[in-house]
């Protein structure tokens, strides 16, 4: 693999780590993440991708709570986004993953629930930022906008990146204060 100096600079500025050879192989050994119960939901556009994610999660030893949809018939994303958000909100799932065409509408829906921090992610930088800085508890991806290989990599990263706390914890406390002022008890 050849990475030009310009590409190396861009990679570094985005906070992406590139590994090759044995180091990369050892990182990809299907290590079980800290999260063991994953709530998963999708609309019809995300069904095939959801099946791939379920297979991957089971391979690494996670328990999957599949909230649907269960086929490619037209389905309403708010129903599945709500199911996943409720499971995470109640502590019945450690984190959630939602899949629709773009990742945007399911994130909007899930974020209507107090305590939910659903992040639509489209690359490694957005996943890392969502977890490290925002302690995102639901990953949302677009089945039409991203390839399956990319999505699998984003899921793997989401499950293995930890919240940094520090100054980011203060920011989350501000968000929680806004939630307590703006949301009704649910």
Give the span between the Cα atoms of 92 and 174, in whole angstroms.
25
Name residues whose C-beta falls within 8 Å of residue 130's C-beta, 6 or more positions apart in sequence.
117, 119, 121, 136, 139, 158
Query: Is 168 annotated as catalytic?
Result: no
Q: Which residue has tokens 């709570």?
A: 65
CA distance 124 to 139: 12
Active-site entry in 133, 134, 148, 172: 133
For the chain, helix, strand, coil in percent to 5 are: 50, 15, 40
Could you list the active site residues? 133
């Amino acid at each position: 693999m050849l990475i030009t100096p310009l590409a190396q600079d861009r990679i570094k500025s985005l906070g992406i780590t590139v590994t090759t050879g044995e180091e990369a192989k050892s990182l990809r050994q299907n290590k079980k993440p800290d999260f063991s119960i994953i709530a998963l939901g999708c609309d019809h556009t995300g069904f095939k991708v959801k099946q791939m994610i379920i297979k991957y999660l089971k391979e690494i030893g996670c328990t999957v709570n599949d909230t649907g949809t269960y086929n490619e018939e037209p389905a309403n994303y708010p129903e599945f986004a709500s199911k996943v958000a409720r499971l995470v909100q109640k502590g019945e799932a450690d984190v959630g993953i939602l899949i629709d065409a773009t990742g945007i509408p399911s994130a909007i829906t899930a974020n209507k629930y107090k305590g939910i921090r659903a992040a639509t992610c489209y690359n490694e930088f957005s996943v890392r930022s969502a977890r490290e800085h925002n302690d995102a508890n639901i990953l949302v991806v677009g089945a039409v906008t991203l390839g399956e290989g990319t999505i699998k990599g984003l899921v793997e990263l989401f499950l293995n990146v930890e919240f940094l706390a520090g100054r980011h914890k203060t920011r989350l406390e501000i968000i929680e204060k806004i939630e307590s002022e703006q949301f009704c008890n649910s």
